Amino acid sequence: MIWEIDDGPRAVEGLDEHGRPDPAYAAALGLIRAPYGRRVMATIVELMIFAVLALPGTIVGTLTALRITGGEDPMRMLQAGELLWPIAAVVISQALVMIFTIVQLVLLGRKGVTVGKAMFGLRSINVRTLEQPRFWRGAVVRYLLMYASFLVPIIGPVLVIALSPLFDPERRGRGWPDMAAAMWLVDVRRGLNPYDTKRMRIARKTLTTPEHEEKAPLPSLATPVDRDAPAEYVPSGRLSGGVIGAHRMSVGTGASEAPAPAPAAPSPVSPLAATPAVPAFAPSVPVAPTEMVDAVPPPLSPGQLLDSFAVQPAPHTPPASPPNVEAPSAPTASPAPASPTAEQIPPPSASAVEDRPGIAVRAVVVLDDGERIDVRGATLFGRAPAPVAGEGAVQLIQVADDTRSVSKTHFAILPARRGVIVVDRGSTNGSSLVRGGVETPLAAGDPAALQAGDIVRFGDRTLSVERA
């Protein structure tokens, strides 16, 4: 037994409470009505094609009809073969017109486009579902009404085809044939193409799905991307190479230096002690000073090590002395040598100073609308870019996109050791790198080096690298 589950009628989005199409919903998706001028031009082009196809048969048929009405005998002309080529011209001409009409109907019913609409960037859709129109009601009915308007010469086509879109009460440019066929003409050059299934689905989902409020980001333990960015989490008393979040900072860039450890306070020693306190063992291998001031005390010299481990003779205990004789003072512990100061640390190189954000331009990029952007550090591109926790100071570039093909944070351009790199931030429509005419998709999170002349394609927008 086969069970059939009836899900009921498919819910149609974009209808008001009375079941009528809502123009505000279509406008929110990015659909734009067809301009009146281009719509008229598309109709004129199609009528001209019809006229060119029908012109040979019309001329030959008219001349033959004039000869017959002028006194020529049709039977004699037929026996003499003078009617064969006029009849053939009329039949071929009408066949071409019929074939062109059928092609127009099929294209309109399946793709919502005709020859004239394709030339001027127009598409026909069902006004309720915003999808392809129905073949019989959408294509056949519309063409029958347009042909019927030619029964009244000049006045009929002008009123039905040219002037009726101006009387649309919804101001959507729908003429009387469009209303009868439940169709709507949209502009795909300046607006969303309703036959682009992927972008249409994204637009519907973006419109119906509410956006969650962004919460304050939690502090991150990750190392900042920018080398000279302020460290957010640096544990004290640990080496920078083995701690997550420890960040190497250049001296002289305004970063605070770790204070040198204070010398240990001398502790009193009992006069009966045999030997003084032995200092803690320190490694004898010298450690080269780094750019980050570590909290490890400097090593002792070999002479200090031998002196610290040498056995001191026990002090001689004097006999009982009078009360006014002072007891021998305890040996004073020598203070620990101070850590190296900032003067002993070598200054940063000139290249490190020039590469700091805000000073040196790492790259110059140009958007497809002509906007030039100087990349000085980590730069995020998108409709509403926002850095994640731990990225530090970044440059945010907001890219205008009416079709919503660009994600909020689409991709990032980051400074590298030599030049800059581009990284896709998990965008919906993805990014690609065009170099030498070859387009390579960018995997989310994988960096790719940029060179001068490269083009980064993201959504419907592009970006060219002028200098890197």
Amino acid at 303: G
pLDDT band at 468 (very low <50, low <70, confident <90, very high): confident
Q: What is the pLDDT of residue 344?
A: 41
Higher pLDDT pick, 393 / 248: 393
Q: What number is the average pLDDT over the span 185-212?
A: 86
In angstroms, the CA 383 to CA 387 distance is: 13
Q: Decide if pLDDT at 356 tops 50.
A: no
Q: Decide if pLDDT at 296 tops 50.
A: no
In angstroms, the CA 453 to CA 93 distance is: 54
Q: What is the pLDDT of residue 7?
A: 58
Which of 1-5, 106-110, 267-271 tops mean pLDDT?
106-110
Among the residue ranges 140-144, 321-325, 410-414, the one predicted with the least confidence is 321-325
Q: What is the pLDDT of residue 447?
A: 92
In angstroms, the CA 62 to CA 353 distance is: 89
Q: Decide if pLDDT at 204 tops 90.
A: no
Q: Decide if pLDDT at 30 tops 80.
A: yes
Q: What number is the average pLDDT over the span 213-218?
A: 67
Higher pLDDT pick, 327 / 219: 219
Helix ranges (DSSP H) in 191-325: 197-208, 302-309
Q: What is the pLDDT of residues 372-384, one digit of tens each?
A: 999 988 999 999 9
Q: Decide if pLDDT at 207 tops 90.
A: no
Q: Is residue 265 a contact partner of residue 324, using CB atoms and an 8 Å limit?
A: no
Q: For the whole prediction, is pTM greater than 0.85?
A: no
Higher pLDDT pick, 28 / 208: 28
Q: What is the pLDDT of residue 49?
A: 93
Q: What is the pLDDT of residues 38-88, one digit of tens each?
A: 988 998 999 899 899 999 888 888 888 888 887 777 787 777 777 888 888
Higher pLDDT pick, 194 / 358: 194
Q: What is the pLDDT of residue 122?
A: 93
Q: Which fold has domain 353-467?
A: Tumour Suppressor Smad4 (2.60.200)
pLDDT band at 5 (very low <50, low <70, confident <90, very high): low
Q: What is the pLDDT of residues 394-405, one digit of tens each?
A: 899 999 988 889
Q: What is the pLDDT of residues 134-190, one digit of tens each?
A: 788 777 888 888 888 888 888 888 888 888 888 888 888 888 888 888 888 999 999
Q: What is the pLDDT of residue 211?
A: 62
Q: What number is the average pLDDT over the span 304-332?
A: 47
pLDDT band at 345 (very low <50, low <70, confident <90, very high): very low
Amino acid at 254: G
**131 Cβ neighbours under 8 A, 6+ residues apart:** 125, 194
End-to-end CA distance of the chain: 68
- Residue 363, judged by CB atoms within 10 A of its CB (0-12, 13-18, 19+), counts as buried
Three-state secondary-structure class, residue 279: coil
| Domain locations in the chain as residue ranges | 23-208, 353-467
Give me the phi and psi of 273, to 5 degrees please: -70, 140
Q: Is residue 463 a contact partner of residue 455, using CB atoms and an 8 Å limit?
A: yes
Q: Which of 157, 158, 174 is nearest to 166 (CA)?
A: 174
The structure tokens listed for 224 are: 């900042």
